[in-house]
Structure 1
């Protein structure tokens, strides 16, 4: 009888251990943190153009250019803050359309059409000797700085 009681106790303890182990195994998956949603590796959003593009001009030169754009009726009415943003470039595009063959939209975006017209403007008096390629390289930026210095003197 003792053997029978010992066997029943051992079977009961084993069963209880099995139930507890099963409950713990179920709890480990049931209470696990949720799997995060997968994220795309690259964004499909198109990058917006920079809001400010001084093309290498420092504060002094950029404020001089803004002052000149304002005083010479190119439609710049923004702040003279040294930040060549959309309004500054729209005024510059108006100037370039009138003087240097800019044919693109007056949108304030400093794209290749704006840069090409700027390069044409800089070719004569401001020492730009590179190609009219629409890329604002070091030669374009240096000539643009000379242009801005000249405009600052007028302001």
Structure 2
């Protein structure tokens, strides 16, 4: 069974619009739609003078592309998803995107921890902080990582 999704784009099924109106509906520049067409993401009909005409299916495709971009997919990944014949192929692309997003979230959390640590430092200039200096020396391989400081219960606390 073929996977399909529909979208009401407020057009009669036989109506078409030009590239300017299509782009304006989504707040895009016309060159964006031309670029997506050059990548094979869109295939609008052509009329006299080789003018592009966008129908409801084309507008649905633009909305799908924008939604995929909001999810962090690149244009190559979007092209793979569009070309995928099976839902399982699309799900695999999404699983890969999820793994990448989780990795980036972890990096952002680590970055936030560094910034919060620096903001919480009692030194006027964080570069004068012994903890900061140790972290820098560890980063360049001049010191081994310091063991975690003991917590108030006698165990070991993480940094």
TM-score of the alignment, normalized to the shorter chain, above 0.5: no
Please, what TM-score do these two structures have when normalized by structure 2? 0.23
Task: Look at both structures and tell me which one has the larger radius of gyration over its CA atoms.
Answer: 1
Please, what TM-score do these two structures have when normalized by structure 1? 0.23
Higher relative contact order (CA 8 A, sep 6+): 1
